Chains A and B, each alone.
Chain A
Amino acid sequence: MQISRLRLPLVVLAGFLSSAIAWAGIEDDASVFVDEHGNELIDILDLPQGADRRDQFQTWLSATFNLESLASLALGPYLGTASDDQMEAYEEAFARYIVVTYEARFDSFSGYDFNVMRARPMGDDDAIVRTNISGPDGTSYVVDFRVELYADGTFQVIDVAVEGLSMLKTQRDEFSAVIQRDGIDGLISSLNERTALVEASAN
């Protein structure tokens, strides 16, 4: 009896303290997350071209990015207008499109160096982590990651901005233009078409 009466406030206090620590440190935890995943990518890109590099890149991409969230955000104001069936087909097409096109985009990247510079919180469960990526030819880019903290304490990336150019914003503007002209179904078939085109040119 005595013990449990003592234990309860302790548990509450501990819980309060740990959540306060987690809140205060969101940018630090986010930096650690970006640092780990960024360096993982640099190692993967240094692998020789081939099936192994492709597989590892795909695994990395789905662990690092919240593709479902990205898919929804990329629809912008059209998010609520898609039916369940359309949404399912779209999410599937989107995930494949991202994996295939980003793989192609990173095709020639190797020998890069990656450093986390600083981070700051953006709201309660979002943070922006600024990094610097420098290439073997002396070029360097400022790359900002927007990471989201989930209830289970894990992070995932929901946007990347290269020199101030946001991937999500660009995609949303591009997708909106297609939906306005050809509807959601038109976007799904365009995504599938592009995926096939990029895949064909990679082989």
Chain B
Amino acid sequence: MLILHVKIMSRLTRCGASLLLIAMVSACATAPQDPAGQEIHAAKNDPFEPTNRYVFDVNLAVMDMAINPIATMYREGIPEPYRNGVRNFLDNLQMPVTILNSALQGDWENTAEASMSFFINTTAGLGGIFDIPGSFDEEPRKADFGQTLAVWGVNEGPYVMLPLVGPSNARDTVGLGVDILTDPLTYLLSPVWSYARTGTNAVAATSDSQSQVSELRRSSVDFYASVRSLYRQNREAEIREAEGDDFMSDDVFSLE
């Protein structure tokens, strides 16, 4: 449910890390004077909040104008089995990055699971269109370089809202850049196919979670703050999983 909102916002598109500069420029939030306000200010870890909120509004406008209408047509016009095929195909393309980062994180089980699943789906699953269940009980978790940096002890750094990409932080933005550079498809696909992959990813992910995201948006008293909180919690859960910790930990419910 909720996790999908964050995933779609964060993996909306993949674009150059140079866009980070735009988010970093200008307006910083000033720290409040009262104790409660100061506590909140420190906890939310968002020194570029005014700029981030502006970028968030622009992202939402792009979603509303371009991606949401296409995602609706896609969901209504294409039967589910075909949409599942597209999803499986796109997910399979992300496997090399998952395999590399599972290994860098020292998670050999996931490295093996992801390698096996990539091999079977690419061959027997005709390029990943059919998801052939492997000999493992669970699907491999997705791994990226932002997680790897976290496992290596790098702090998240300030929260940033990336244009078109969505919520991130300094660490995960560097991670995203490295993911693009270490993805074999970056070098194999021509720019047109790269854009096609990015666009289809955005549309397919949006079509899956559209109704839940719009429900959350309608009911939120501050949608920007909700997304910021959810992004952070989602990353924390992924990192705990990458470190082999069960996410049934006190951290999930601690209000620190």
Using CB atoms and an 8 Å cutoff, list the residues of chain A in contact with chain B: 73, 76-78, 81, 101, 104-105, 108, 120, 122, 128, 130, 141-142, 144, 146, 159, 161-166, 168-170, 172-178, 180, 187, 190-191, 194, 197-198, 201
Which residues of chain A come closer than 8 Å to B186, judged between CB atoms?
Answer: none
Q: Which of B37, B216, B228, B229 has the most CB of A within 10 A?
A: B229
Picked from B37, B211, B218, the residue with its CB within 8 Å of the CB of A201 is B218
Q: How far is the CA of A19 from the CA of B203 in the complex (A)?
A: 56
Which residues of chain A come closer than 8 Å to B237, judged between CB atoms?
Answer: 163-165
On whether A161 and B253 interact (CB within 8 A), knowing A76-B40, A197-B218, the answer reads yes
Using CB atoms and an 8 Å cutoff, list the residues of chain B in contact with chain A: 1-3, 6, 32, 35-37, 39-41, 43-44, 211-212, 215-216, 218-222, 224-226, 228-230, 233-234, 236-237, 240, 247-248, 250, 252-253, 255
Picked from A108, A159, A178, the residue with its CB within 8 Å of the CB of B222 is A178
Picked from A120, A163, A173, A191, the residue with its CB within 8 Å of the CB of B228 is A173
| Chain A binding surface SS class | helix
Q: How far is the CA of A176 from the CA of B237 in the complex (A)?
A: 22
Cβ-defined contact, A165 with B32, below 8 A: no
Q: Closest B residue to A195 by CB, please name it.
A: B219
Q: How far is the CA of A106 from the CA of B2 in the complex (A)?
A: 12
Seed contacts A104-B219, A170-B2, A190-B222; 12 additional CB < 8 Å A-B pairs: A104-B218, A128-B248, A144-B252, A163-B2, A164-B234, A168-B255, A170-B233, A172-B255, A174-B221, A176-B40, A177-B224, A180-B32
